[in-house]
Amino acid sequence: MINVYLIGAGPGDPGLLTQKGRRHLETADIIIYDRLVNPTLLYLAKKDAEFLYCGKLPRHHIMRQDQINAAIVANAAQGKKVVRLKGGDPAIFGRVGEEMKAIRDAGLTYQVIPGITSSSAAAIYAGIPLTHRDHNGHVTFATGHQKNNALTEIDMTTLAQGGTLAFYMGIENLPRICEKITKQPELAKLPVAIIEWGTLGRQKVLTGTIATIESELAQTTMANPAMIIIGNVVKERSDTSWFEQTPLFGKRYLLASETGITFDQICDYTELGAHVYALRIQDARFDDITTRVLSEQQWDGVILHDGTPARIFQEELLRLGINETFHIFQNDPAHVILEG
């Protein structure tokens, strides 16, 4: 019997979760999840599954890594099926090695279910293939920070040899990254793309060169989570990517229904480019998630499904202590588009 499943949630778009990951999410007794996990994936959980949030913000961790390890082991030791849900791929800058060791040391068993890593997904959703035979023959994945906030020492000569660098969570260290690259003056004109919230309808993309990107970034509000892609492959991006041309791209909708929104209904919106959050009415497990999501983000309005009256939605907000007014759409934008 496997005690723990360490699952990659993918880069944000809920439709990018693997089939194997979905199968084990649906049968987990407890799901321990990160901040970068799209909360709509929790819709796949069974009705009596528990949720444990261990979200990590820059310089502020809800739970330290040793506490996360302890929570995984303690719940698995009680005979629960534990899913540790991690953004992207857990084996790429996801500390999965530390969690594997903690599980092994406790005499428990586990499986790792890879996910789509953020660099390849965010890049292609921005219209940038990480590899292209006209531009590069190799790609380097690098973290923009390490323990004690020390920048990874990357051999920048790979760029001069036609490579591509993909930095995870590197915005705070962008000045040091650019400084290190410009020690080779011939690289100052290399194109750069910064992709914030890649694969979601709230995705933003900024392009420039090593010489200009810092000043251009300073004129925006972009922040982590973001990928930094450096190399000539960035030239493949047009003004807008295929994803940014989807009919609902950039729209942010709350979905609500007395009977519950299905995961497939959520994906109907995200495949059209919308950024959505679905309210689980009267499901206390989602109370903290809903409060956090509604307070941290701006929304274009709420779409009521299945004939749910606006009163039910307003009562749910009141129960949660959310004092905010939302525009209620009379016509479901996704339905109008899907029905042509």
**Of 81, 156, 169, 227, catalytic:** 169
Active site residue 169: yes
Active site residue 134: no
Active site residue 156: no
**Of 29, 56, 100, 332, catalytic:** 56
**Of 13, 34, 89, 268, catalytic:** 34
CA dihedral over 59, 63, 65, 66, signed as positive or negative: positive
The set of catalytic residues is 34, 56, 169
